[in-house]
């Protein structure tokens, strides 16, 4: 097996390890780094979109240019989540602009941004404006097939940049919550397939935590299976 010095994991709450009782010790990236005897970086964020995964991973590579033998693992999330820039965000009385995670989902229609964010409080957006924007965007500007194509292009560009900046590096992808990924998409990458479903959410099934996230046992299982997968790269 190739000797890695560093593992970098990125994704949403599944990769963060939200279903574990003790983070970071029990999440798969730490378990995998222990098996590979290398350093772990986990830069995932709960509610994070695929856009955020790629953006923050570009930043990590840029800040660690020249680092050798790096293994980067992405747990891709649902296409309805988006990485968006917000002007004048006011959170805890600290006004600042920055990236936030917007979720175009009927379940989030009243908030838009993930649960801890409030558009009315932080941006002064009325409920009527918010729901109107949500409905217009999802009806006229959101297409799953096109978002999948865009994601594929961005991942190919990231993989090329990563290999240029980090000698002897590898990228592994799997789906935490991204459904119906085309075969032509997977063939462009080191794609890890689950034994019991398309996504980690489906694969972990009965071994989810009370929060419906992968449990400690699910993290142990994927760490073991990823280790076996890495041996074949």
Same domain for 12 and 61:
yes
User: Domain holding 168: CATH number?
Assistant: 3.40.50.1110
Q: How many domains would you assign to the chain? A: 2
Please give the structure tokens belonging to residue 123: 């941006």
- Do 105 and 167 have their domain in common? no
Both 102 and 196 in one domain: the answer is no
Same domain as 152, residue 127: no
- Domain with 221 in it: 6-78+144-231
Spell out the per-residue pLDDT of the chain, length 233, in tens: 889 999 999 999 999 999 999 999 999 999 999 999 999 999 999 989 999 999 999 999 999 999 999 999 999 999 888 898 888 776 655 557 888 888 776 555 555 555 445 677 777 888 788 778 878 888 898 888 999 999 999 999 999 999 999 999 999 999 999 999 999 999 999 999 999 999 999 999 888 887 899 999 999 999 999 999 999 98
Tell me the angle at which helices 50-63 and 144-165 cross, rounded to the nearest 10 degrees: 10
136 with 100, same domain?
Answer: yes
Q: Which tokens belong to 220?
A: 């142990």
Q: Which residue, 140, 161, 186, sits at the end of a domain?
A: 140
Residue 1 lies in a domain: no
- In the chain the beta strands, taken as DSSP E runs, fall at 6-10, 39-42, 70-76, 81-91, 94-103, 170-175, 190-191
Contact 176, 75 (CB under 8 A): yes
In terms of domains, do 93 and 43 share one? no
Same domain, 134 and 174: no
Reported pTM:
0.92
* Helix (H/G/I), strand (E/B), else coil: 137: helix
Give me the residue label for tokens 């071994």. 207
In a domain, 56, yes or no: yes
């Amino acid at each position: 097996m190739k000797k890695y010095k560093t593992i970098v994991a990125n994704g949403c709450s599944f990769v963060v390890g939200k279903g574990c009782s003790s983070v970071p010790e029990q999440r798969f990236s730490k378990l995998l780094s222990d098996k590979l005897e290398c350093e772990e970086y986990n830069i995932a964020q709960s509610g994070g979109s695929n856009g955020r995964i790629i953006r923050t991973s570009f930043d990590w590579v840029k800040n660690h240019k020249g680092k050798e033998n790096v293994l980067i693992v992405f747990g891709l999330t649902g296409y309805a989540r988006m990485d968006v820039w917000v002007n004048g965000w006011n959170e805890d009385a600290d006004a600042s602009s920055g990236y936030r995670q917007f979720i175009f989902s009927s379940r989030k229609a009243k908030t838009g941004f993930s649960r801890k964010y409030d558009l009315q409080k932080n941006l002064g957006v009325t409920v009527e404006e918010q729901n109107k924007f949500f409905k217009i965007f999802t009806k006229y500007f959101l297409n799953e097939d096109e978002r999948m194509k865009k994601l594929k292009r961005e991942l190919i560009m990231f993989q090329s940049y990563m290999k240029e900046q980090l000698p002897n590096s590898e990228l592994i992808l799997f789906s935490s919550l991204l459904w119906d990924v085309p075969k032509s998409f997977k063939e462009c990458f080191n794609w890890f397939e689950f034994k019991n479903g398309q996504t980690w959410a489906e694969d972990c099934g009965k071994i989810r935590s009370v929060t419906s996230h992968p449990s400690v046992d699910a993290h142990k299982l994927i760490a073991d299976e990823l280790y076996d997968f890495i041996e074949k790269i």
